Amino acid sequence: MLTCSKDRVQNKIETFAKFGDAGHGGITRFCFSPEDLQAREEFVKRMKAVGVETVTDDMGNMYATLPGTEEGLPRIVMASHTDSVRNGGNYDGILGVITAMEVVETIATEKIPHKHPITAMVWTNEEGSLYPPAMMSSGVVCGKFDKAKMLASKSSEGKTFGEALKQSGYVGDEANRLNPKDYMAMLELHIEQGPVLEAEKKEIGVVEGVVGMVNYRIRTYGQSDHAGTTPMPYRRDALLAAASALKYLHAELDKLDSNLVYTTGEILCHPCIHTVIPDLVDFSIDARHKDPEVIKQVVEVIKNMPKEFDKCEVKYEEAWARNTIDFDKELVDLVQKSADAYGYSSKRMYSGAGHDAQYVADMMPTTMFFVPSKDGHSHCEPEFTSVEECWKGINVVLQTVLEIDKK
């Protein structure tokens, strides 16, 4: 079986880990920050070193295409992103970019025959850390988001994404955008970001799709009064009510399907002063499952929640939702076949996280590969996947690209 170079993979991981190194094992590399521009330059430099030029589109997405032996065939693209969350790790996103580069480099340097052009691609602003929303550029390219609105997206310091894009120097031609005419398939390797592969001792996650989700805001309404002067029976404490609502939702949702995941991750409290009884608390609930019926049950739990906790009114509001996305069955089978060919252990699974690939899936045959995440950590500095595990994943991508090329 063909394999890519473990040493080169290690070198790439170590090199990119320097761009935005926060000094304690992880990185902060916001889209179009100086650190992100370093990573982009490194991508261009390394692709150029193997004879491949990089072009960009109007969203700053980067494409480095190794020509194939036959004229006029559509391209096979591998893509992920270079940007990170604050104090993120060295694998989320960047490992997919490293994979794309390494596969192109292996095919180029080892002169592996291939008919179709093969493209290594970088998506702009997948995390949306500075400029929301996440998956901004794949959203624009795949027709999910309005470009003008995205250009107007502001960082908390008031800079727009449009300004940052222009200043980056990476604006290219809209005609260069990923599209279903010039491209035949898109592949994305990513860390699992969960503990399942590690726990089940599987080397490759064969990703069948991205689970559907709902996101609600729960709000409790109390009365702000002074902490020192208001006897307890007179109080309507919105934070106490929020704690009760949160505990209630956890207890009820724990009764649903065991594959359901749900998260109460964000809480806002007003006025949030230790000497004042809170009058408004707002927290998020995010729930994900591949079966829409289970998501419906979650919504029922939220809607049937008591209207009052601790003398405070409780309201809910849907923030957003997405349906389950299924990847291309033929491609998924090819991934499975490739993993099997190396003798790597694998598990078919759905992605709980969102990825650019989910938008692309509506436009062309698309699929994803997962490699294990140590202790399941991601979006944090302890995020880790061994070079050996990365290398195995990249081999499976290499083999899958060559299988697609046969079509």
Cα angle vertex 387, ends 381, 389, to 5°?
100
Q: Smallest distance, Å, CB 150 to its own copies?
A: 19
Q: Smallest distance, Å, CB 261 to its own copies?
A: 6
Among 2, 152, 272, 321, indicate the residue that binds its own copies (CB under 8 A). 272
Q: Is 276 in the site for its own copies (CB under 8 A)?
A: yes
Q: Smallest distance, Å, CB 327 to its own copies?
A: 16
Q: Which is nearer to its own copies, 68 or 372 (CB)?
A: 372
Instruction: Please give the structure tokens belonging to residue 101.
Output: 């580069």
Measured N-to-C along each axis, helices 238-253 and 292-303 cross at an angle, to the nearest 10 degrees, of: 150
Identify whether the C-beta of residue 4 lies closer than 8 Å to the C-beta of residue 338.
Answer: no
Among 229, 255, 307, 343, indicate the residue that binds its own copies (CB under 8 A). 229
Among 244, 324, 346, 358, indicate the residue that binds its own copies (CB under 8 A). 244
Instruction: Please give the structure tokens belonging to residue 30.
Output: 């916001």
Q: Which is nearer to its own copies, 370 or 391 (CB)?
A: 370
Among 113, 228, 306, 343, indicate the residue that binds its own copies (CB under 8 A). 228
User: Which region among 22-30, 53-61, 376-384, 391-399 touches its own copies (by CB under 8 A)?
Assistant: 376-384
Q: 374: phi > 0 → left, psi -120 to 50 → alpha, else beta; which?
A: beta
Q: Which is nearer to its own copies, 60 or 352 (CB)?
A: 352
Among 72, 265, 306, 343, indicate the residue that binds its own copies (CB under 8 A). 265
φ and ψ of 208, to 5 deg? -90, -15
Among 9, 108, 140, 353, indicate the residue that binds its own copies (CB under 8 A). 353
Q: Is 288 in the site for its own copies (CB under 8 A)?
A: yes
Q: Is 277 in the site for its own copies (CB under 8 A)?
A: yes
Q: Which is nearer to its own copies, 92 or 105 (CB)?
A: 92
Among 86, 144, 311, 374, indicate the residue that binds its own copies (CB under 8 A). 86
Q: Is 222 in the site for its own copies (CB under 8 A)?
A: no
Q: How many residues does the chain have?
A: 407
φ and ψ of 183, to 5 deg? -125, 140
Among 44, 112, 196, 387, indicate the residue that binds its own copies (CB under 8 A). 196
Q: Is 323 in the site for its own copies (CB under 8 A)?
A: no
User: Which region among 4-12, 97-105, 210-218, 391-399 touches its own copies (by CB under 8 A)?
Assistant: 210-218
Q: Which is nearer to its own copies, 310 or 405 (CB)?
A: 310
For its own copies (CB under 8 A), the number of binding residues is 67
Q: Which is nearer to its own copies, 160 or 223 (CB)?
A: 223
Among 17, 44, 55, 243, indicate the residue that binds its own copies (CB under 8 A). 243
Among 49, 51, 70, 234, indicate the residue that binds its own copies (CB under 8 A). 234
Q: Smallest distance, Å, CB 290 to its own copies?
A: 11
Please give the Cα distance from 259 to 270 (Å, whole number).
Answer: 34
Q: Is 311 in the site for its own copies (CB under 8 A)?
A: no
Q: Smallest distance, Å, CB 23 to its own copies?
A: 18
Task: Summarize as ranges the residues that interact with its own copies (CB under 8 A).
Answer: 85-86, 192-196, 199, 211, 213, 215, 223-232, 234, 237, 239-240, 242-244, 246-247, 250, 254, 258-267, 269, 271-279, 283-284, 286, 288, 319, 351-354, 373, 376-380
